Structure 1
Amino acid sequence: MAMTSGRNFWCLCSSILLVVAGSWAQAETKLFESAQVTPAGEYSFGIEGPAADLDGNLFVVNFGKPGTIGRLPAGGTASEQFIVLPEGSVGNAIRFDRSGTMFIADYKKHNIFAIPKGQTQPTVWFHSDEMNQPNDIAVARDGTIYASDPNWKGREGHIWRIAKGSDGSVQGQVMSAPRAMGTTNGIDLSLDGKTLYVGESGSGQIWSYGVSGNTLTDAKLVKSFQPDTIDGLRTDVAGRLYIARILKGTIALMKPNGAVEREIVLKGKEPTNLAFGGSDGKTVFVTQRQGGFIESFRTDQPGREHCLQRGRC
């Protein structure tokens, strides 16, 4: 009888421990709750352009000072310097293609740099003095780069299409569009690559376009936020958009039809951009201009770029 009672007691304790452990695990992985990851002040006011590789490293521009790129190792809580860009260059966006090549938008010197996987030396992949910047970039399945190119003073902008030609040389040109664009900023593609989403910071509007070679077609206003309250954006494999609401301190999670599913409250109030990372692509990293740090939250779907890198999209 005593042995039976002891066994029952042990089973009861084990059950309690399992419940507690399960509750702790659920708390640890609670979706859409953001937490600060790195110390304040690691990055300059120009903190931007986060992108994660398949090894779990997160890369962010302007670590400590302009013209640098920082690296946050997988599972890390502090960044380290990855590289310094050539003299006078300042990065604003980072993206990866299917081969693991890192592309960096240099808005000061009008370059797109490329760093092949496993290397640390940036080379100029594309340059044009006709560019205002470039600002943000998105990479398609075939390696084509779409770059937003705002003229902040003129409150206007356009999109560049940059790709290799039949002779192997990299060529770029401004895409023709069915409407006059505002200050083009955040940019990303739909999962099938047929739709390009572009945020115009001055107006606070998100537009979608069909993509046909060097032409943007079928312009649709997806959503109007308040002027000057949107920055970078990303898409997930479910087709939703994640939009950095700079000055509001949230990430708007929006359906392709413009319906806002939720506003994810952040620790900092000036999010500039975001990227999907982690082993499953469901960790969203956010760059915070206010405080110069990185924060993150878990979501329920992986990002398009993570899917692209794994060769599944």
Structure 2
Amino acid sequence: MVAAVSGQAAAPSPLFIATPLTEVGVFTSGIEGPACDVDGNVYAVNYERQGTIGRIRPDGSGEIYLELPQGSVGNGIRFGAQREMYVADYVGHNVFKVQPKSRAITIYSHNPNMNQPNDLAMAPGGVLYASDPNWTEGSGQIWRIGLDGNATRLVSDIGTTNGIEVSPDGRTLYVGGSDERVIWAFDIDVDGTISGQRIVIRFADHGLDGLRSDVDGNLYVTRYGAGTVVKVSPSGRILQEIDVLGARPSNICLGGLDGRTAYVTEVEHRRFVQFRVDRPGLAWQRLRSQ
């Protein structure tokens, strides 16, 4: 007997419409630093309790993937070319490196002159850039972390540096200033230093937190306090604004099996929400091509 097969394909999910991925409260209020692998999973810090990294499957179920060393609390997460994970430890002034199979943790970079660090961005060759705010003083720094793990301060006292990303061609560094409500752009020079600071976009109200790029160089920016994610062109034009079902989205990544699902860490309900996008994420595409 041959089973009947419907001739109707499942309708694709509509673009830019947010839905919950996980249950309410599975993370702490420190939910942050989402990063996507190429198998459809998404990771974020502080799953169930502080000091952990959680792995969430496509169906919304999750588990503790990793426990950070005692006293450390993660923030930004990035994957490297060999599937290794880099984690910003904002308490210990570290960037950890996590091996993909053994999950062994080592200190990749440490600098006591860091305030935190907060979030991470990766250039095409593997160099990391780290945002480093000082919330008490309303200032911040930007660091370059070389392939040897050595951290060099590039900018100081610029403002409350937070979300950070490198453009698809590796020539522009974008940094969000949360209190300043701006996204700055810098030229990345041949030696990895930055110059030519300029404002891409200034928002009239509410703060901003994380930001990530798609393969076309458009930025997805979490508007903390506004409860939205905005898609911004490299020239600073708002292309989309998405309600993310909670007032305090902290960060975002683009991934899933095809790179076209946005995952947002949402503080108010301590959960992930997701929505479909039109183009794959830059970090996902780079990871998939390795």
Q: TM-score, length-normalised on structure 1?
A: 0.87
1:215: Cα distance to partner?
2.5
Match of 1:3 in 2: none
Aligned to 1:130: 113
Residue 139 of structure 2 is aligned to residue 156 of structure 1 = yes
Q: What SS does structure 2 have at the residue aligned with 1:25?
A: coil
TM-fit CA distance, 1:119:
2.4
Shift of 1:121: 2.0
Amino acid at match of 1:211: I
Deviation at 1:76, TM superposition (A): 2.2
Counterparts of 1:214 and 1:172, CA distance in 2:
12
Deviates further, 128-137 or 213-222: 213-222
**Distance in 1 separating the partners of 2:91 and 2:169:** 32
Q: Distance in 2 between matches of 1:88 and 1:134?
A: 15
Quote the residue 2:271 is aligned against.
293
Tell me which amino acid in the other structure corresponds to 1:63: Y
- Note if 1:188 corresponds to 2:171: no
In 2, are the aligned partners of 1:203 and 1:226 still within 8 Å (CA)? no
1:70 maps to what in 2? 54
Aligned to 1:218: 196
Tell me, in whole angstroms, the C-alpha distance in 2 between the residues paired with 1:176 and 1:38: 38
**SS of equivalent to 1:154:** coil
Q: Percentage identity across aligned positions?
A: 40
Give the C-alpha shift of residue 227 in structure 1: 5.4
Letter in 1 for 2:201: K
1:265 paired to 2:248: no
SS in 2 for 1:66: coil
Equivalent pair of 1:231/1:246 in contact (CA under 8 Å): yes
Instruction: Please state whether the residue corresponding to 1:310 is helix, strand or coil.
Output: helix
State the partner residue of 1:8: none
How many corresponding residue pairs? 285
> CA offsets, 1:132-157, max 9 Å, x none?
00000011121100000111111111
Q: Distance in 1 between matches of 2:246 and 2:266?
A: 6
> What's 1:175 paired with?
154
Please report how far the alpha carbon of residue 174 of structure 1 lies from its aligned counterpart in structure 2 after TM superposition.
0.3
How far apart, CA to CA, are the structure 2 residues paired with 1:226 and 1:247? 12
Q: Which runs of 4+ in 1 moved over 4 A?
A: none
Is the aligned partner of 1:81 residue 2:64?
yes
Q: Name the aligned partner's letter for residue 11 of structure 2.
A: A
**Structure 1 CA distance, aligned partners of 2:247 and 2:155?**
35
How much has 1:273 moved relative to structure 2? 0.2
Q: Flag structure 1 segments of 5+ consecutive residues without an equivalent.
A: 1-13
- Given the alignment, which residue of 243, 246, 251 partners 2:224? 246
- Cα deviation for residue 78 of structure 1 reads 2.1
* CA-CA distance at 1:117 after TM superposition: 1.9
Q: Which residue does 1:197 correspond to in 2? A: 174
Higher helix residue share: 1
SS across alignment from 2:199: strand
Question: For residue 68 of structure 1, what is the amino acid of its counterpart?
Answer: T
Q: Deviations over 1:41-74 (max 9, x none)?
A: 000010000001122221110011110111112x
Q: Distance in 2 between matches of 1:296 and 1:272?
A: 13
Q: Aligned equivalents of 1:176 and 1:129: distance in 2?
A: 16
Mapped pair 1:45 → 2:29 = yes
Contact 2:206 2:226 in 1 (8 A): no
Does the 8 Å contact 1:98/1:141 carry over to 2? no
CA contact (8 A) 1:114 1:123 kept: yes
